[in-house]
Amino acid sequence: MYDLVEMMTYKRPQGSDTQKEFCYKYLEPIMGLPDKYGNYVLTVGDKPQVCFTAHHDTVHKTSGRQKLAVTKDGIVSLKRKSKGECLGADCTTGIWLICNMINAKIPGVYVVHAEEEGGCVGSTALVKSDPQWLDDINYVISFDRYGKKSVITHQMGRRTASDKFAKLLAKTLELPLKPDPNGSYTDSNVYKSKVSECTNLSVGYYSQHSTEEKQDIVYAYKLLECLVSADWDQLQYYRDNTVIEMGSMYGDWYDDDDYFFGYPPRGYRYDIDPRKFETGDNRIYDMIVDYPEEVALLLEDLGYTADELHEMLGIQDHGYINEYLERVS
């Protein structure tokens, strides 16, 4: 059994020595050397239909090791909070799950991608290279979603997995998961035109990319248990990957017991077409989707007022922006 807390002590900005050290220690012994794009790929079993993914970079600003704190309830966080740093459970927990599933000999194609945080660079290059194993894949499951309840069905406003599949996956894992249309993007999104069902699964972290990031290791171990015991032959695919199906920008709007799916509808621009963000640099868009409070505070720190933003953006309901800035300040 790999030590998840120990793995999260490695700060791994793209290209850093600590990232290389981490990959050498944890990935190469079990997955071999990376491909020319920096991705680690391993096939377990004969022509598996499921691809499990994570990524080995983090959004840390500095490399090296970090000290962590663990509560008696199994919540891991930074022991010391420094500006620009994070826990890195995104996506260390996904790597931890993959390593343990490989050890358990669960059939699948396992891919730990390079440079996801830089815009899915490694996965984009890999999919463009059209590897032979991809011909047999009907499902791509990323372990890169916050919370404990999501099976992502939409990324960047576009459907990447069917609701029927999401419900079946939750049933297969015997976990209280449900379809969530509010995904931003991760590596599984890159496979959507080639693979029927491409999703992202909650792995139990919160407040990713921030000093407040936390990981529930009790949930992580429960998820691993379910992944190892699941009957993967139960899965069925339904989505036609040749058809583009757009949802609303953030999917449905609803509150959840533990966290908030999506963002309030007042002031939402329904005239925006998410497809325009599928080319070029998506990172700014995704930062706004994933971290609206941080972006709002940054704009306020830069001296912008709600009225100025209303005028610049042409948003009619600027009362909502005023309320939002007051709420987060």
Q: Which one, of 120, 237, 217, lies nearest residue 169 by Cα?
A: 237
Q: Tell me what percent of the residues of the chain surpass a pLDDT of 90.
A: 70
Residue 174 clears pLDDT 60, i.e. is over it: yes
Q: Read off the pLDDT of each residue in 77-97 and give the average, rounded to a whole number.
A: 92
**Tens-digit pLDDT profile for residues 39-72:** 999 999 999 999 999 999 999 999 999 999 999 9
Measure the CA–CA gap between 199 and 137, rounded to whole angstroms: 13
- Mean pLDDT within 163-168: 98
pLDDT at 156: 87
pLDDT interval class at 84 (50, 70, 90): confident
As a whole number of angstroms, the distance between CA 217 and CA 228 comes to: 16
Q: How far apart are CA 184 and CA 285, in angstroms?
A: 9
pLDDT for res 298: 74
Mean pLDDT in residue range 171-185: 95
* Distance, CA of 149 to chain centre: 13
Name the average pLDDT for the chain.
85
Confidence class of residue 278 from pLDDT cuts 50, 70 and 90?
A: very low
The CATH 3.40.630.10 domain(s) of the chain lie at 4-234
pLDDT band with cut points at 50, 70 and 90 for residue 282: low
Coil/strand/helix, residue 178: strand
Mean pLDDT of all residues in 1-12: 93
State how far the Cα of 63 lies from the Cα of 276, in Å rounded to an integer. Answer: 34
DSSP string, 105-169: T--EEEEEES-STTTSHHHHHHHHT--GGGGG--EEEEEEEESSSEEE-EETTEE-S-HHHHHHH
Is 203's pLDDT higher than 90? Answer: yes
Residue 257 has pLDDT above 60, yes or no: no
Prior bond to 51 cis, omega within 30?
no
Q: H or E stretch including 251?
A: none
Least confident of 116-130, 154-168, 214-228, 255-269: 255-269
DSSP, res 190: G
User: Is pLDDT at 5 greater than 90 in this prediction?
Assistant: yes
Q: What is the average pLDDT across 295-299?
A: 76
Asked whether the beta carbons of 212 and 152 are under 8 A apart, the reply is no
User: For position 296, what pLDDT does the model report?
Assistant: 77
Classified as helix, coil or strand, 97 is helix
User: pTM for the full model?
Assistant: 0.78
Q: What is the pLDDT of residue 263?
A: 37
For domain 4-234, the CATH architecture is: 3-Layer(aba) Sandwich (3.40)
Contact 156, 120 (CB under 8 A): no
pLDDT bracket for residue 292 (50, 70, 90):
confident
Mean pLDDT confidence for 215-244: 97
Report which secondary-structure segment, H or E, holds 233. Answer: none
CA proximity to 239, closest of 163, 174, 185: 163
* Position 12 pLDDT exceeds 50: yes
Q: Is the pLDDT of residue 134 over 70?
A: yes
Do 51 and 42 contact (CB within 8 A), yes or no? no
